[in-house]
Amino acid sequence: MKYSLLLSALLSSAAFSATVQTVQRPPQASTIQVVCPTGTCTSKPAIHKDVLPINSSLRIDVIGQGVAPTNTSSPAQAYALAKRAATADAYRLIAEKVKGVRIEGDDLIKNMMVQRSTVRTTVKAMVRNANVVETTFKDGLCEVEMEIVLSHADFAR
């Protein structure tokens, strides 16, 4: 009986001290510390930093490419159509960089041989405030350089 009372008293005191310790813990920092699996950690643990901190901006540059169709009635029309295609490509590249790409892959293997290999990628995004920096048209290929400036507020909306 005495031992059980002593044990319970010890346990309660330990629990109390543990709660006190948790209360006295300092507030967590904004950076998240990544814990590596055993054996793979270096001497310094990797620290995850914010990609876009508050009050800073990030500039993304892309070059979209487009080709004019073969059945155009004039070089001007070819240029206009190729430019549209290049703009769409540039928007796609921005969307890929900012939002990411969904990738699906299928491989069909028959009799130990690859019959068909398919990779499907999809991008879905809404892009606004992108600027065309430069447009070049050479040998039927149009290149549109586009930039977008991202600020922390754009994501915090």
Partner 1 sequence: MRSRDGNRTLSCRFCTLVLLSSLALNASEYLISYRYVVKNAILYNETLQISKAMQKCIGIPQTSLLLQQKNSKDIQKIIYNHMNEFITYIQKIGINVEHKEKNTNYQNSSTTILTMHTRCFKVDFNDNFAKITALK
Smallest gap, in angstroms, from Cβ of residue 51 to partner 1?
A: 21
Give least dist CB 50 to partner 1, A.
25
Is 36:46 a contact under the CB 8 Å cutoff?
yes
Q: Please give the structure tokens belonging to residue 47.
A: 């620290």
Which of 82, 74, 90 is closest to 145 using CA atoms?
90
Q: Least distance from C-beta 109 to partner 1, angstroms?
A: 13
Is 54 in contact with 80 (CB distance < 8 Å)? no
- Closer to partner 1 by CB, 48 or 116: give it: 116
Q: In the complex with partner 1, which residue's Cβ is closer, 56 or 121? A: 121
User: Hey, is 62 helix, strand or coil?
Assistant: strand
* Of residues 44 and 138, the one with the C-beta less far from partner 1: 138
Nearest approach in angstroms of CB 135 to partner 1 is 11
Nearer of residues 52 and 67 to partner 1, judged by Cβ = 67
Owner of token pair 């790409």: 101
Helix (H, G, I), strand (E, B), or coil: what is residue 83? Answer: helix
Binding site for partner 1 (CB under 8 A): 65-69, 81-82, 84-85, 87-89, 91-92, 94-96, 116-130, 132
Contact predicate 36/48, CB 8 Å? no
Find how far residue 120's CA is from the centre of its chain.
18
Residue among 45 and 69 whose Cβ is closer to partner 1: 69
The whole-angstrom separation of Cα 40 and Cα 18 is: 31
> CB 49 → partner 1: shortest distance, Å?
28
